[in-house]
Structure 1
Amino acid sequence: MCPLWRLLILLGLLALPLALRKQPWSGLAQAHRDNKSTLARIIAQGLIKHNAESRIQNIHFGDRLNALAQVAPGMVGWLISGRKHQQQQESSINITNMQLDYGGIQMSFHKEWFSANISLEFDLELRPPFDNNIIKMCAHMSIVVEFWLEKDEFGRRDLVIGKCNAEPSSVHVAVLTEAIPPKMKQFLHNLKDNLQEVLPQLVESQVCPLIGEILGQLDVKLLKSLIEQEAAYEPTHHESSQPSACQAGAPPS
């Protein structure tokens, strides 16, 4: 029995340093997750406090598409696949129900630089130029905003809000109306493709300045403190999230 007890004690002593080495890294990883969660929560609270969704809704994307049509003749025709001018005037796209995914904000870090990935989703109501029935659609995209700490001439670090854009690869437009006439299917297919091309440009030019303005009013000291803690941790990347109802939507067959 003695040799067996000695063996067990020896194995326990050998395992002790390994356990001690793991504990600090486990704590650091937990702190890292907590920091990401805290940063995402601060950003979400700031967007809610400053009524981001209502202010984005007030941009009136549909009206801006009409304005583009007046400035650049044929814009609406391009959006709806080149219908005749008279038909273009009778068609309309109404954009409603702007929603930001406050609970799904994802953070990425690299030293004193970080980015926030914020999902934007909204509904579209299309009144075709050759049909009185309204077709319901939805659009989903990811807005990525970059931040970093920048030193001034006195060595003080300020929070700087950098590039903001809607990632083209994240844009998804889905048709929600199930009963689609056969003659409409190609029309909707072309419309979806064109919207996926033009919507990121509208978001970048109209929504991003608003997002930047709101985030610029956040608690800079707290953000800086969390970023400084993250500077000692290895870089992380965006995590995958569950698809929204709009992302899961399928085009009519």
Structure 2
Amino acid sequence: MFQIGGLIVFCGLLAQTTALLDTLPLPLDQILLLQGTPVQDLSPTDLAGSLTDALSNGLLSEGLLGVLENLPLLNILNTGGGTSGGLLGGLLGKLTSVLPLLNNIIDIKITNPQLLELGLMQSPEGHRLYVTIPLGITLNVNTPLVGRLLKVAVKLNITAEILSVKNEQGKTHLVLGDCTHSPGSLQISLLNGFAPLPVQSLVNSLTSILTEVLPELVQGKVCPLVNDVLSQLDITLVDSIADLLINGLEFVIKV
């Protein structure tokens, strides 16, 4: 009898406790989860970080580093400014003063391609994103003017505009808008330190041509990769970001 009475009392207390809990409000995160609200909506900073991580990983998966390492710089220099040089031949023809010095270059190898940390900004009206893609390479220049390779560091930013649009079925998705090199972001520096005058003249000539041709060359290779990566992003991430952009809601936190 004692055991049965104790069980009855325990069940009564449990029922009272359950009824009391039912009257208490649920935490906000539990309410949203029960309603099926995506977790990304709870943390805008994490949502922006998820996008940059996905873009960075996607570019690497698409072979970005290999694309940078195989830029046809030596072919461009070997055009000598002739019209047979293709897209950039006419441009080199305008730089006739530097071409004799560039004839002293035997070979250029691109090493150490890098994709640095991506940056993300949201437009003032909140309907578009701007992704900064910082890239770096090292040029190993072989020239008979010196008894060693010249190592030249090059850094350049590509800026990609991301828009949210709706298709005919009313489904939102992210698309690439303008994609170009960031003006003034190109940095070229000699890693070997001080160079004698003939070598410095060669470096200056090389810098002049790289400043003219490299941004457009890199842009033409990288922007199609960005477009490919956007088409392969996780659908949940795309929907969350697209909805925010269409409604002009700020989710990129400015630090």
Specify the TM-score bucket, using the shorter chain as the normaliser: 0.5 to 0.7
Structure 1 position 156 matched with structure 2 position 168: no
- Larger-Rg structure: 2
Aligned in 2, Cα 1:124/1:77: closer, same or farther, shift over 3 Å? farther
Aligned in 2, Cα 1:183/1:238: closer, same or farther, shift over 3 Å? farther
Displacement of 1:48 in angstroms is: 3.0
For 1:82, the aligned partner's letter is L
Equivalent position of 2:76 in the other structure = 65
Equivalent position of 1:75 in the other structure = 92
In structure 2, stretches of 5+ residues that fail to align are: 1-41
Equivalent position of 1:109 in the other structure = 122
**Aligned-partner Cα distance in 2 for 1:67–1:51:** 26
**Aligned-partner Cα distance in 2 for 1:172–1:62:** 16
Number of paired residues?
207
Equivalent position of 1:171 in the other structure = 186
C-alpha RMSD of matched pairs (Å): 3.3
**Aligned-partner Cα distance in 2 for 1:134–1:80:** 23
SS at the partner of 1:108?
strand
Q: TM-score, normalised by structure 2?
A: 0.67
In structure 1, stretches of 5+ residues that fail to align are: 1-29, 240-253
Displacement of 1:138 in angstroms is: 0.8
Equivalent position of 1:198 in the other structure = 213
Structure 1 position 216 matched with structure 2 position 219: no
> Please, which of 29, 45, 50 is the counterpart of residue 38 of structure 1?
50
SS at the partner of 2:103?
helix
Q: TM-score, normalised by structure 1?
A: 0.68
Instruction: Please list the CA deviations of residues 156-197 of structure 1 after superposition, one character each: whole Å capped at 9, or x if unmatched.
Output: 222212222111310101100124112322332232233122
Residue correspondence of structure 1 range 5-16 to structure 2 within 5 A: none
Residue correspondence of structure 1 range 105-144 to structure 2 within 5 A: 105-110=118-123, 111-128=126-143, 130-144=145-159
**Aligned-partner Cα distance in 2 for 1:189–1:237:** 41
Instruction: Report if aligned partners of 1:77, 1:88 keep a CA contact under 8 Å in 2.
Output: no
For 2:55, the aligned partner's letter is I
Equivalent position of 1:233 in the other structure = 249
SS at the partner of 1:163?
strand
Equivalent position of 1:54 in the other structure = 66
Comparing 71-80 and 109-118, the one that deviates more: 71-80
Instruction: Please list the CA deviations of residues 80-132 of structure 1 after superposition, one character each: whole Å capped at 9, or x if unmatched.
Output: 81317xx727533222221111xx21111233321211110000011236444
Aligned in 2, Cα 1:134/1:61: closer, same or farther, shift over 3 Å? same
**Aligned-partner Cα distance in 2 for 1:83–1:105:** 39
